[in-house]
């Protein structure tokens, strides 16, 4: 609850800044802030909270069966034509009108179950419904956190790619200016000058494409956060900041907090409670009731007469065509089926867990290889650039050196991104809420 309040207050502070800021000013957003806003503004979380609240109301409503059921009733009847009875009086028929012009009934009745094992067991089912709703809400929270993390890492990768594309364009533009100067003084051929110009023009669409990817990535992040898609956000962070986490691979083996398995466990408890409730149908039930009524009948003057009753009602089940027996057998089969489904699910979850850990290890290997390659490619590009300035290498060789450097840099960013995405998916599978 304290964490939820913190999330709401943080979100309120962020949105307060958004409303007071100028229309064109973007809102800076870190990963923690993005998660906090999503947990307070996302419709997924709101629906989950409403489901818990709804289940709570249902549970409270089920307890109403334990309290006395009190009702009041009243009726008025006006006799339009009285019933006539014919009686034989000394051999002569005599007609007698029966009834009164006005008939009034009013009373209060109360009933209370004294022994009803089936009812008591149903209350446990209501409590398990609330427990299941809470676990489903936790599952929604864990899933949303994972999705926000993956979308955030996607924005960071898009931004890193945009910076690389911009560097390529800037280098291509600089090479073109340099080649043009050499061409003007007769130190470069026209073909070399045209090639430099083509390289510069080819690099420009890559920048525009990278900008679009950044924009779409931010839209996806804003949609998951549950904020207005027109809101301008500035995602703060670099993929390099997550490099220390690449060295913390710990192969997990515990699936106890996995939400799917937790829900299976609660559903099995529900079926066990249902099975007991069905067995309790063989137990007799006892209920008490009391009633207090007033009756009045008359033509012009009414005469009121109170009556009261108290009763015990015992219901002993004897035979119902084996309905309860077959219902119990159905529930037992359902329990067996659910246990098999749980077993298959756990097996698939362990396969997924192994897949994610293998992906993380592969990303770490790719990162280590690319890190060494970047150092070599960077030195190679610097040397090739110097040699191009003095005319010892061609523009093609310079472009090849730049391409090798760019590819190695992208490999590093992609490895970090893929590692963090796999880690976020693994945290979701393990049921981690952080």
Q: Tell me, yes or no, whether 308 lies in a domain.
A: no
For 308, residues 6+ apart whose C-beta sits below 8 A from its C-beta are: 290, 291, 292, 293
CA 303 to centroid of chain Cα atoms: 67
Q: Tell me, yes or no, whether 105 lies in a domain.
A: no
Q: How many domains does the chain have?
A: 1
Rounded Cα distance, 258 and 319, in Å: 45
Here the CATH number for the domain that contains residue 424 is 1.20.1600.10
The 10 Å Cβ neighbour count of residue 433 is 12
Q: Tell me, yes or no, whether 201 lies in a domain.
A: yes
CA 88 to centroid of chain Cα atoms: 83
Q: Which pair of structure tokens corresponds to residue 379? A: 């030195």
Does residue 252 contact residue 357 with C-beta atoms inside 8 Å? yes
- The residue whose two tokens read 């510069």 is 200
Q: Tell me, yes or no, whether 101 lies in a domain.
A: no
**Partners of 289 in the β-ladder:** 111, 311
Confidence at residue 44, expressed as pLDDT on a 0 to 100 scale? 86
Q: Tell me, yes or no, whether 75 lies in a domain.
A: no
CB burial readout 109-147, b (16+ within 10 A) else e: eeeebeebbbeebbebbbebbbbbbbbbbbbbbbebbbb
Q: Which pair of structure tokens corresponds to residue 172? A: 């291509």
Provide the Cα torsion 44, 48, 50, 52; round to 10°: 180
Single out the residue of 240, 255, 81, 52 nearest to residue 156, CA to CA.
Answer: 240
DSSP 188-200: S-HHHHHHHHHHH
Q: Tell me, yes or no, whether 196 lies in a domain.
A: yes
Parent domain of 184? 2-68+115-283+320-430
Q: Which pair of structure tokens corresponds to residue 384? A: 């090739």
Does residue 102 contact residue 75 with C-beta atoms inside 8 Å? no
For 311, residues 6+ apart whose C-beta sits below 8 A from its C-beta are: 288, 289, 290
Q: Tell me, yes or no, whether 93 lies in a domain.
A: no
What is the full per-residue pLDDT of the chain (434 aa) written as tens digits?
344 333 433 433 343 344 434 444 678 889 999 999 999 888 888 888 898 888 888 888 888 888 889 999 999 988 888 887 778 777 777 877 777 788 899 999 999 888 888 888 888 888 898 999 999 999 999 999 999 999 999 999 999 999 888 988 888 888 888 888 878 888 778 888 888 888 889 888 989 999 999 999 999 999 999 888 888 999 999 998 998 888 776 667 688 889 999 999 999 999 999 999 989 889 899 999 999 998 888 777 777 888 899 999 999 988 888 888 999 999 999 999 999 999 999 999 999 999 999 999 999 998 888 888 887 878 887 888 788 777 777 777 777 787 788 888 888 999 999 999 999 999 999 988 87
Confidence at residue 18, expressed as pLDDT on a 0 to 100 scale? 41
Does residue 235 contact residue 215 with C-beta atoms inside 8 Å? no
Q: Which helix (H) or strand (E) holds 2?
A: helix 2-20
Confidence at residue 34, expressed as pLDDT on a 0 to 100 scale? 92
For 266, residues 6+ apart whose C-beta sits below 8 A from its C-beta are: 128, 131, 132, 135
Q: Tell me, yes or no, whether 51 lies in a domain.
A: yes
């Amino acid at each position: 609850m304290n964490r939820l309040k913190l999330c709401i207050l943080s979100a309120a502070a962020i949105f307060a800044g958004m409303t007071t800021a100028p229309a064109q000013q973007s809102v800076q957003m870190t990963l923690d802030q993005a998660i906090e806003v999503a947990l307070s503004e996302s419709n997924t979380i709101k629906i989950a909270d409403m489901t818990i609240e709804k289940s709570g109301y249902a549970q409270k409503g089920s307890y109403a069966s334990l309290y006395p059921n009190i009702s009041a009733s009243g009726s008025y009847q006006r006799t339009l034509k009285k019933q006539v009875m014919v009686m034989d009086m000394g051999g002569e028929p005599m007609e007698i009108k029966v009834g009164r012009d006005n008939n009034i009934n009013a009373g209060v009745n109360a009933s209370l179950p004294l022994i009803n094992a089936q009812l008591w067991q149903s209350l446990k089912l209501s409590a398990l419904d609330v427990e299941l709703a809470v676990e489903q809400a936790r599952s929604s929270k864990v899933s949303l956190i994972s999705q926000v993390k993956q979308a955030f890492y996607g924005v960071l990768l898009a931004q890193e790619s945009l910076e690389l594309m911009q560097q390529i364009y800037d280098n291509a533009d600089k090479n073109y200016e340099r080649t043009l100067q050499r061409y003007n003084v007769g130190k470069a051929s026209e073909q070399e000058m045209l090639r430099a110009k083509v390289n510069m023009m080819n690099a420009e669409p890559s920048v525009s494409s990278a900008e679009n990817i950044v924009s779409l990535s931010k839209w996806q992040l804003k949609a998951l956060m549950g904020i207005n898609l027109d809101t301008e956000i500035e995602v703060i962070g670099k993929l390099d900041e997550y490099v220390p986490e690449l060295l913390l691979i710990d192969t997990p083996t515990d699936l106890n907090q996995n939400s799917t398995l937790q829900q299976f466990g609660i559903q099995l408890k529900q079926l066990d409670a249902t099975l007991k409730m069905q067995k309790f149908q063989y137990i007799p039930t006892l209920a008490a009731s009391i009633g207090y009524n007033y009756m009045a009948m008359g033509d012009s003057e009414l005469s009121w007469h109170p009556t009261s009753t108290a009763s015990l009602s015992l219901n002993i089940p004897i035979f119902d065509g084996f309905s309860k027996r077959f219902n119990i057998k159905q529930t037992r089969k359902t329990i067996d089926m659910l246990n098999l489904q749980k077993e298959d699910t756990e097996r698939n979850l362990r396969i997924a867990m192994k897949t994610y850990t293998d992906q993380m290890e592969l990303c770490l290997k790719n990162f280590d290889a690319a890190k060494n390659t970047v150092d070599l490619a960077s030195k190679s590009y610097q040397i090739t650039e110097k040699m191009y300035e003095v005319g010892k290498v061609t523009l093609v060789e310079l472009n090849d050196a730049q391409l090798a450097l760019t590819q190695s840099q992208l490999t590093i960013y992609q490895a970090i991104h893929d590692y963090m995405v796999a880690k976020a998916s693994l945290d979701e599978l393990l049921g981690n809420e952080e």
